[in-house]
Amino acid sequence: MPLVHWIPVIFFGGPVFLGLFIFLWSETHQRLSRTSIAQSVIRLIHRRYRLLITLLCVTILTGLYLFDSWLTVDSSLTGESRWSDYARGMSTETLGILFTVLLVDRLIERHEHQEDRIKEVRSLRKANVVLSMYIDRFQLHACEVVTADRLNPNADPLPTRCPDSWEFRDMRRLFTPSMLVVGDRSPKVLCCLKAFRELQRFIEVLLIEQSFEHFPNIAKILVEIVQSVGLTDLYDGIKMNSYSRDGTEMRSTMVQRMIEEHNGPVEYIASHIVTPYIILYYRIKKTIELLKRYEEEFAIVTRAS
């Protein structure tokens, strides 16, 4: 049989095989889409076949328009009509199939994008439940450090958030025992630094395990928090000051007095005993600002979803 006689079979049989392929693909996708690995493999195969189908259709269209003058069928088979007329008609149908396939593919891709976003929001909400606990813990200890005159939580309950405005002098009681730790005389400042560490470590794990593909702004804020908290390790130096002496005076008492007597702008002083506390002052302010931005961004994400 001449090759030209197979062309109608190819044109009519092609859509049938294409439909069968799409059906089998959709069934396989529904069965295997429960695992992220299977989803990735299926999407990769899907994209390859999409490119293959597009190239095939474009090739057929190009061939029909460029070479239709070469293809003529014997009049005993087709009467007075030329194969070129038939080819042009089939090329129009092929073009329709091409646009249909691309449209359906676009809809499927958009649906998958929405599903991925919904799953990411759900996962982020679960992570935020635990993250909020670390944030609240940090806020409590930070507030205790920067509210020097609130020493009796029974008489005057400590707020759960730091005040909007506070000064370096408000840290003048940072070496007094924390009221938030039962059975321990640890200074407020050390408890606050521990809360800093715990917050930093949880965010680091969250950044590794949680996907932020659809919410890069949240990931950026969390990275800034980790960088702000872990820029300089203050714990060991401040802990040593809590029990060391300079002559007859405790260093902790000396530091608290210097903070209380401080006036003017808060500036770094190289190799000075009060420098770690100036760093802590700016670190607490920066972290509180970033946490506020995170909570606002998270509220926008969950509200939009």
Residues 213-229 pLDDT 10s: 888 999 999 999 998 87
Residue 177 three-state SS: strand
Can you read off the two tokens belonging to residue 150? 């609130």
Rounded CA-CA distance 303/297 in Å is: 10
The percentage of residues in the chain with a pLDDT greater than 90, rounded to a whole number, is 28
Residue scoring higher pLDDT (25 or 116): 116
Average pLDDT of the residues in 4-25? 52
Give 150-169 pLDDT, tens digit per residue.
Answer: 545 554 566 677 888 889 99
Per-residue confidence (pLDDT) for residue 137, from 0 to 100: 93
Kindly state the average pLDDT of the residues 110-131: 87
Asked whether residue 290 carries a pLDDT value surpassing 90, the answer given is yes
pLDDT at 33: 47
Distance between CA atoms of 14 and 258, rounded to whole angstroms? 85
Residue count (the chain): 305
- Nearest CA to 200 out of 295, 287, 296, 292 is that of 287
pLDDT digits (tens, 9 = 90+) for 63-77: 555 555 444 444 444
Looking at per-residue pLDDT, the higher value among 241 and 107 belongs to: 241
Among residues 82, 287, 64, the alpha carbon closest in space to that of 196 is found at: 287
Say how far apart CA 119 and CA 305 lie, in whole Å.
11
Assign 12 a pLDDT band (cuts: 50, 70, 90): very low
Q: What pLDDT, in 10s, does the model give residues 15-66?
A: 545 555 554 555 455 444 444 444 554 555 555 555 556 656 666 656 555 5
CA–CA distance, 251 with 242 (Å, rounded to integer): 7
Q: What angle do CA 206, 208, 212 make, to 5 degrees?
A: 75
The pLDDT of residue 266 is 87
DSSP result, 36-54:
HHHHHHHHHHHHHHHHHHH
User: What value does the mean pLDDT of the chain take?
Assistant: 75
DSSP-derived 3-state class of residue 158: coil
Predicted pLDDT at 49: 58
Give pTM, 2 decimals: 0.67
Segment 283-298 shows an average pLDDT of: 93
Q: Please give the Cα distance from 188 to 164 (Å, whole number).
A: 20
Cβ 137 vs Cβ 191: under 8 Å: no
Q: In terms of pLDDT, which residue wins out, 55 or 230?
A: 230
Query: What is the C-alpha to C-alpha distance for residues 88 and 95, in angstroms, rounded to an integer?
Result: 10
Q: How are the residues of the chain apportioned to helix, strand and coil, as percentages rounded to the nearest 5?
A: 75, 0, 25
Share above pLDDT 70 across residues of the chain, in percent, rounded to a whole number: 61
- What's the whole-number mean pLDDT along residues 97-105? 70
